[in-house]
Structure 1
Amino acid sequence: MLAAIGDNTVRTSTYFRASGTALAVALLSACGGGSSADPAHLDATAAAARCADLAGGAGLADTTLTPQYVPAGTRRAGGAATGDFLGGYCVVTGAMNPRTGVDGHHYQIGFQLSLPDDWNGRFLYVGGGGNDGTLRDTTAALGGGLTSPVAQGYAVVSTDAGHQTTLAADFGGDPQARIDHAYNAHDKAAVAAKTIIARRYQKSAAKSYFQGCSGGGRQGMMFSQRFPDYFDGIVAMAPAQRVSSGATVAAMWNNIQFTNAAPLDGNGKPILSQALSSADLQLVATAVTNACDAADGAADGMVNNFKACTFNPAVLQCSGAKTATCLTSTQVTALQNVFGGPHNSSGQALYPGQPWDPGIASAGWRAWTLGTSTTATPNSLYNLLMSDALRNEFFTPPDPGFDILKFNFDTDPQRMEAFSQVYDTYRDTKLSAFQAHGGKLLFVHGLADPIFSPLDTRDYYEKLAASNGGIAATQSFARAFFVPGMNHCSGGPATDSFDALQAVVDWVEKGQAPDSIKATALATSAYFPNRTRPLCPYPKFAKYKGTGSLEDAANFTCESS
């Protein structure tokens, strides 16, 4: 099966390389390429006409396209109620390869493509997340405080990854839906988007980019490996590179540890959210800050030098009864086991643990690990999202009735290995073809991410460096940035607003490798409003120069020690 997948990857990628120029020429001719008007900068009437023309299918087989022209001044980015209006653009909703699965459900590969009237010549693929199943609004910004890529002139696509359910992963009962989710839908959506772009603008995109977080980060890594010539620059944030073999094992492990520490209701059932109160988590966060904060030269509530941070929650263990200033032995044990990472009965590590970071006290950390339910019915994302993915997609064959509290760490990981071979992206630590294409890759990961460990991204990057002549040589095409305090993709006591896309664009188009990325905490931050920091390429971290405001990035420098 793997050999067949590899053969298909090369064949598809090579075909697109060879045929792309001829396709663009043919489409230009079909669209009246002799027109004196610049198709990348048309007036509203002409742009609307070209949008309507896409209803013909743009030459894509087994595909239905539904285009709609959105005039300038009528919609804001992401459908927001406030802010600047977008310029005119054409939004194309596509459905490819409709079919009935072996489970009797309808499937198709859906995508949404936004084509601005004032095009900058670039194509951006926005990754998905979770179990996918929905079309992301392609006009939305890529983070708080940033400008919508469509407003900047990018042609932007998203896909539902080949199925139309979101939180549930019951599509895993259909083998083709699994393959679509892993890589096939993304291949098809990228090729379709490039084809439509060439028809709409009468030329191919000059440069192509990808940005995604979580599952979207995995998708970015997947493109760099399976389809290495599709994108010139990729931003992979909090990549779910071992979700179907490692991170989900850790989610099961963590859920069991915290459930074991949870108080019982009147029926003897554990109330997961109360295993650690918000005050308990703040107690831990404060202790971590006191132990590790100053290692970066500044006592500013952020642990920049995470490699130098050593902490053991045993220092908080009560000597007697539980009080507001200490933790029970059961709580301490749960934290030690969670941050130590899962292992089997022989002591073999199954996934990295987590770095200690003050972001443990934030809502984003609780949402994944403990949830907020005041009853014995848990609502943590370990229970709502990861459990369903495990039962229906990551297990081969699926096991919809599986009790996640009975996960066997000796035997159940083997049930996940078959799909891991197709889905996970941690095995290729060379990226030879992506390098040969001239591609640039940015990893970005929050240090308080409770689902995909930043230590896993660090380990992958170090293996990548070991396979490519060391850190210095690897930084010619791949760099990793870690964000202190940030939870999964955003949130937490962090400077979590930063333009990673522009960083990779400057690297690709200007040869300016990012020696740092300026990050900001928004004015609405509950922690450090308007604070700025440099994000530094690993293994460097932001170190205080010793003078000046702690709120200003200018007073920090990227250093290794």
Structure 2
Amino acid sequence: MTRAKQLLAKTTGFALVGTLLTSGSGAAECSVDTIPIVPDMRIVSAEASSSPAAHCRVVGEIGTEIGFELLLPDAWNGKFVMGGGGGFSGDFNNAVLGLANILEDGWATVTTDTGHKGNNIVATWALNNLERQVNFGFLAVHRTAVVSKAIITAYYGAEIQRNLFFGCSRGGGQAMMLAQRSPDLFEGIYAGAPAYSWTKEMAGRWTYDAMNMYPDPNQISLPVIDADAQALIGKAIMARCNAIDGLEDGILNDPRQCDFEVSSLQCGAGETNQCLSEEQVRVAEDLYREVEFGGTSWPGMPMGVELPGNPLGWSTWNTGGYVEGAALDFHPGDGDEEGVAYEAPPIPNATWGFSSQLMKNFFYSDPDWTYAGYDFSDFAHHAARVGPTLDADNPDLSAFRANGGKLILDNGWMDGSLSPYGTIDYYEKVLEMDPSARDDVRLFVRPGVTHCRFGPGPDGTDYVAALVAWLDTGVAPNQLAAPYVHPVTREPTGQGGRIICAHPAVVTYDDAGDPNDAGSFSCQVPQ
């Protein structure tokens, strides 16, 4: 048995099927016939590509219909990073490819559609299909990782030196699921803006918010908090709290310091302009606070997300308004794949869309379900049924840590979708279970950053490099560089940058230095 076949057998428990033809670089030639075959997996295509760096693009299927796209660079660096998906998946949107130079630096990378095709905000594929629900919940990512590692090992004829997972949003939830349920697959995991509580946050909390913002599910054009009310709230919050951290820059380094009362904007007797109605005040206050529903609860949003200019703030996620013919660009990669048009349902905002899809296709198996008259009386029952498949909320990371695993959690303080308070809550539960977990798990909450990235704050932190450095040196990061980068190329813009701090420390300005110089900031734990 050749060395490559021995390595594949060791990784999967099965011998290599077929012949491995190697090129001068040590990698196999790029063709369907030369990609190593793993049981219950088939190769759909294998094509050589030169952009952005020479690599072999492999598309395959595992089991019934778990699709994956594996990119094998000609100049492999010996490392593997799997990229998570977004929304309800359904495509090959690899989160790690949104970073600069992944393929150019020689990383092999893979992503999966989690076992179905479709628009990222549609879940009709899950209706009465338990296999697809389980694949989406956790199994597709696990199987894709195992298969990909086997192919990579055999394709290059060498062991993988580093195994990382990088995911944000849905991918962040996938990352957490791997740390909890597949603790031996990756030694370094990044979970950004993690969609980890599909039942409590995305089904329950978001349905509650949808009912508040659009009391009639058939009227989804005009929200209770319209554009004028939203702008009024956002400007008032910034007027009171923008300078509380020493800088008037449209960024709240720690929104928990903001003591603004929405009720101060309520219209008085005879007032109608530049003020809020009683209903608008109530709905806004609910967005900010922890609310109870169906025997459970979930925290609200931090202040500072409201300004209409925030590309992934209230307008996209919480308020909005359906406009016929207008596409909702809620997540990178929600477009079509391979020229196939993915139709999306009419929705006023992203949380409304996700929650209704979850309730229809996972909770109640009823495509005609709406929240008209809904009272959450049986919510807990259905959440308990689907939660073990969808939720990644187990704070016990002992097995992952015992394997040498390092986990970075992350959220933006200006994220209008997945509450950073929910991510903080999970992290604190991890430390409550075992305080020593901070040796292997760190949380960063980034000022001025929206969902995964973007926003007025610097969002260029290189989390892949941070994980590699942590694994190589054993030194956990207390702060990381946060440069300003181009939103598409992810290259530095020349504007400088700041820092981000490991929770519970907060980014703190020195009150004198250049606000675009990282040296003007330090990490301080609030007293």
**Normalised by the shorter chain, which TM-score bucket?**
0.7 to 0.9
The equivalent residue for 1:12 is none
Map 1:209-288 onto structure 2 (within 5 A): 209-260=164-215, 270-288=219-237
Aligned counterparts of 2:9 and 2:251: Cα–Cα separation in 1: 48
Aligned counterparts of 1:412 and 1:406: Cα–Cα separation in 2: 13
What SS does structure 1 have at the residue aligned with 2:191? Answer: strand
What SS does structure 2 have at the residue aligned with 1:350? Answer: strand
Which amino acid is 1:247 matched to? Answer: M
Residues 1:141 and 2:97 are matched in the alignment: yes
Aligned counterparts of 2:271 and 2:101: Cα–Cα separation in 1: 49
Q: 1:326 pairs with 275, 296, 314, which one?
A: 275
Report the Cα offset of residue 273 of structure 1. Answer: 4.0
The equivalent residue for 2:301 is 354
Which amino acid is 1:414 matched to? Answer: H
Structure 1 regions of 5+ residues with no counterpart?
A: 1-17, 40-46, 76-85, 99-107, 263-267
Q: 1:435 pairs with 396, 401, 416, which one?
A: 401
Checking the alignment, whether the CA contact within 8 Å between 2:413 and 2:449 is kept in structure 1 is: yes
Checking the alignment, whether the CA contact within 8 Å between 2:25 and 2:75 is kept in structure 1 is: no
**Distance change >3 Å, CA 529–CA 276, structure 1 → 2:** farther
The equivalent residue for 1:117 is 74
Aligned counterparts of 1:62 and 1:205: Cα–Cα separation in 2: 22
Checking the alignment, whether the CA contact within 8 Å between 1:111 and 1:159 is kept in structure 2 is: yes
Report the Cα offset of residue 241 of structure 1. Answer: 1.2
Q: 1:131 pairs with 88, 92, 96, which one?
A: 88
The equivalent residue for 1:177 is 132
Aligned counterparts of 2:236 and 2:11: Cα–Cα separation in 1: 62
Question: What is the number of residues matched between the two proteins?
Answer: 492
Residues 1:152 and 2:105 are matched in the alignment: yes
The equivalent residue for 1:95 is 61
Aligned counterparts of 1:545 and 1:28: Cα–Cα separation in 2: 62
Q: Which has the higher contact order (CA 8 A, sep 6+)?
A: 2
Report the Cα offset of residue 370 of structure 1. Answer: 2.1
**CA offsets 1:26-46 (integer angstroms, 9 cap, x no match):** 76996479x9x552xxxxxxx
Aligned counterparts of 1:509 and 1:221: Cα–Cα separation in 2: 22
The equivalent residue for 2:343 is none
Report the Cα offset of residue 538 of structure 1. Answer: 0.4
**CA offsets 1:397-424 (integer angstroms, 9 cap, x no match):** 5122111343323322422221102220
**Distance change >3 Å, CA 283–CA 57, structure 1 → 2:** same
Q: 1:363 pairs with 291, 311, 316, which one?
A: 311
Aligned counterparts of 1:416 and 1:135: Cα–Cα separation in 2: 28
**CA offsets 1:63-105 (integer angstroms, 9 cap, x no match):** 2213434343xx3xxxxxxxxxx2210000001223xxxxxxx
Aligned counterparts of 1:159 and 1:401: Cα–Cα separation in 2: 29
Q: 1:513 pairs with 476, 480, 486, which one?
A: 476
Checking the alignment, whether the CA contact within 8 Å between 1:24 and 1:199 is kept in structure 2 is: no
Aligned counterparts of 1:323 and 1:548: Cα–Cα separation in 2: 43
Checking the alignment, whether the CA contact within 8 Å between 1:215 and 1:239 is kept in structure 2 is: yes
What SS does structure 1 have at the residue aligned with 2:135? Answer: helix
The equivalent residue for 2:38 is 60
Aligned counterparts of 1:179 and 1:524: Cα–Cα separation in 2: 34
Residues 1:403 and 2:350 are matched in the alignment: no
Q: 2:252 pairs with 294, 300, 303, which one?
A: 303
What SS does structure 2 have at the residue aligned with 1:114? Answer: strand
Map 1:477-496 onto structure 2 (within 5 A): 477-496=440-459
Checking the alignment, whether the CA contact within 8 Å between 1:133 and 1:163 is kept in structure 2 is: yes
**Distance change >3 Å, CA 505–CA 324, structure 1 → 2:** farther
Structure 2 regions of 5+ residues with no counterpart?
A: 1-6, 325-345
**Distance change >3 Å, CA 184–CA 540, structure 1 → 2:** same
The equivalent residue for 1:554 is 519
Report the Cα offset of residue 147 of structure 1. Answer: 0.9
Aligned counterparts of 1:524 and 1:65: Cα–Cα separation in 2: 34
Which amino acid is 2:422 matched to? Answer: D
**Distance change >3 Å, CA 248–CA 87, structure 1 → 2:** same
Q: 2:29 pairs with 24, 47, 50, which one?
A: 50
Report the Cα offset of residue 116 of structure 1. Answer: 0.4
| TM-score for the superposition, normalised by structure 2 | 0.85
Report the Cα offset of residue 274 of structure 1. Answer: 4.3
What SS does structure 1 have at the residue aligned with 2:147? Answer: helix
Q: 2:122 pairs with 145, 150, 168, which one?
A: 168
What SS does structure 2 have at the residue aligned with 1:141? Answer: helix
Q: 2:349 pairs with 360, 368, 380, which one?
A: 380
Alignment RMSD:
3.0
Aligned counterparts of 2:94 and 2:289: Cα–Cα separation in 1: 38
What SS does structure 2 have at the residue aligned with 1:518? Answer: strand
What SS does structure 1 have at the residue aligned with 2:190? Answer: strand
Report the Cα offset of residue 225 of structure 1. Answer: 1.0
Which amino acid is 1:259 matched to? Answer: Y
* Structure with greater proportional helix content: 1
Report the Cα offset of residue 118 of structure 1. Answer: 0.7
The equivalent residue for 2:331 is none
Aligned counterparts of 2:183 and 2:151: Cα–Cα separation in 1: 21
Checking the alignment, whether the CA contact within 8 Å between 1:429 and 1:464 is kept in structure 2 is: yes
Checking the alignment, whether the CA contact within 8 Å between 1:296 and 1:544 is kept in structure 2 is: yes
The equivalent residue for 2:328 is none
The equivalent residue for 1:541 is 506
Residues 1:446 and 2:446 are matched in the alignment: no
Which amino acid is 2:190 matched to? Answer: V
Report the Cα offset of residue 505 of structure 1. Answer: 1.4
Aligned counterparts of 2:18 and 2:125: Cα–Cα separation in 1: 41
Residues 1:497 and 2:460 are matched in the alignment: yes
Which amino acid is 2:287 matched to? Answer: V
**Distance change >3 Å, CA 507–CA 24, structure 1 → 2:** farther
**CA offsets 1:334-377 (integer angstroms, 9 cap, x no match):** 101122233138xx6521112212455323221122224257x6
Identity percentage of aligned residues:
28
Which amino acid is 1:379 matched to? Answer: P
The equivalent residue for 1:389 is 358
What SS does structure 1 have at the residue aligned with 2:97? Answer: coil
